Amino acid sequence: MSAHEHISGNGGPLQGGEMQITAVSKSFGIGPLRQQVIENCSFTLERGKLTVLIGPSGCGKTTLINLLAGYEAPDSGTITVDGAPIKGPGKDRLVVFQETALFPWMTTLENVTYGPIVRGEKSKKEVEEEAMHLLRKVGLEDFRDKFPIQLSGGMQRRCELVRALINRPKIMMMDEPFRGLDAMTRELMQEYYVRLFEENHLTNLFITSELEEAIFLADRLVILTNRPASARTVIEIELPRPREFKLLATREYLHYKQQALEILHEEALKAFSSGCGATVADFLEAYSEVESK
């Protein structure tokens, strides 16, 4: 962890952590507004593995990520990283948000160097060198002085990945990061992301609602139940790495897909017949009005 180590993708010094989520519950609001979002949810993010969380839409995936990142505290249960319980947000667990959360008023380079510079770990020059090294790897070196609005959707996502990676997190959390990209860019980003993972083997958590994406990326697939969410099944995906898109036509892949589909369909039906969709959103809205800071 010394300051002079170089983040090079090929099996370098990036250290993945192990995250243990044990019996976590979370609800919002009180009285009739109370909505149990997560109940008794347990699973493990194994060191150096890519875990994908998938579940019916509106089932509380984003809430879960907020808990893991430390933006919100669970009502009960524990979350530990390498055995130590988490205390609030930290640079060991970084989130890549839905759509883009790059700071619009900073250039690509400023966005990437933001973390190390505010923590004051290294000199500005060192940080910028490191940032440029990473930006070069993702093909953004010519865009260092552009603002996010001037980048395409795919570039923004790559920039965001670099912004997280430069902080050498133990765990990367991706909250439906490729949502809103067009199909082509999305495919490219998936391939790009899986290459990156296969190079550095950080512990990764990837949230999505697309099954194909999930199986293509995952080492372990955690299927969530309908709200209140908990981990229903874990499927170990033992497809060979490096992953290629031609994998999508193999029998093993289709087998996993069938297996997951059945469970997902069951959960989706439950969600639909309990009238989940809109009402949940309403409850959350009502809650945020009452308790917004």
Partner 1 sequence: MQTEQTLSGKAVATQDVSVSSISLFFFRLKLWMKSPTPYLTLLGLSLFILTWWLTTEVWQLPRFEKLPGPVSVVKEWVSEDPAYGISIYTPEYYEHIWKSILRVLQAFGLATILGVPLGLFMGWKKTFKDYTFPVMEILRPIPMLAWVPLAILMFPEREMAIIYLTFLGSFFATTLNTLLGVESIDEAYFRAARCLGAKSRHIFFKVVVPGALPFIFTGLQISMGFSWFSLVAGEMLAGEFGLGYLIWNSFILVQYPVIVIAMVTLGVIGWSSSALIRFVGTLLMKWQSRGSSL
Partner 2 sequence: MTQKKPVYFMGINLRKLRKSIFSKTTYRGIVAVIATVILWELCARFEVPIIGMIPAPSSVFSSLVEQLQDPAYWECWVVSYDRVLSGFIIAQIIGIPLGLIMGLSRHLRDLSFPTLEILRPIPPLAWVPTAVIFWPTPEMSMIFVTFLGAFFTMVLNILGGVKNIDVRYIRSAQSLGSSGFDIFRRIVLPATLPSLFTGMTVGMGITWAVVVAAEMIASRSGLGFLTWKSYVAGDYPVIVIGMISIGIAGYLSSAVIRLLGDRLTPWRKII
Whichever of 97 and 192 has its CB closer to partner 2, that residue is: 97
Map tokens 């953004």 to a residue: 140
- The strand ranges marked E within the chain are 19-28, 35-45, 50-54, 76-81, 84-85, 93-96, 171-175, 203-208, 220-224, 231-236
Whichever of 5 and 121 has its CB closer to partner 2, that residue is: 121
Return the residues of window 144-183 that contact partner 2 according to CB under 8 A.
147-150, 163, 167
Whichever of 26 and 163 has its CB closer to partner 2, that residue is: 163
Whichever of 157 and 163 has its CB closer to partner 2, that residue is: 163
* Rounded least distance, CB 94 to partner 2, Å: 6
279 is an interface residue for partner 2 by CB under 8 A: no
* Rounded least distance, CB 144 to partner 2, Å: 14
* Rounded least distance, CB 196 to partner 1, Å: 37
User: What angle is formed at CA 67 by the lines to CA 61 and CA 73, rounded to 5 degrees?
Assistant: 140
71 is an interface residue for partner 2 by CB under 8 A: yes
Cα–Cα distance measured from residue 171 to residue 188, given in angstroms and rounded to the nearest whole number:
23
263 is an interface residue for partner 1 by CB under 8 A: no
Cα–Cα distance measured from residue 247 to residue 220, given in angstroms and rounded to the nearest whole number:
16
* Rounded least distance, CB 98 to partner 1, Å: 20
50 phi and psi angles, rounded to 5 deg: -100, 110
Long-range contacts of 9-13, Cβ-Cβ distance < 8 Å, separation of 24 or more:
9/137, 9/196, 9/199, 9/200, 10/199, 11/199, 11/200, 11/201, 12/200, 13/168
In the complex, the residues that contact partner 2 under the rule CB under 8 A are: 69-71, 88-91, 93-95, 97, 101, 103-106, 114-115, 118-119, 147-150, 163, 167, 293
In the complex, the residues that contact partner 1 under the rule CB under 8 A are: 30-33, 272-275, 278-279, 281-282, 285-286, 289-290
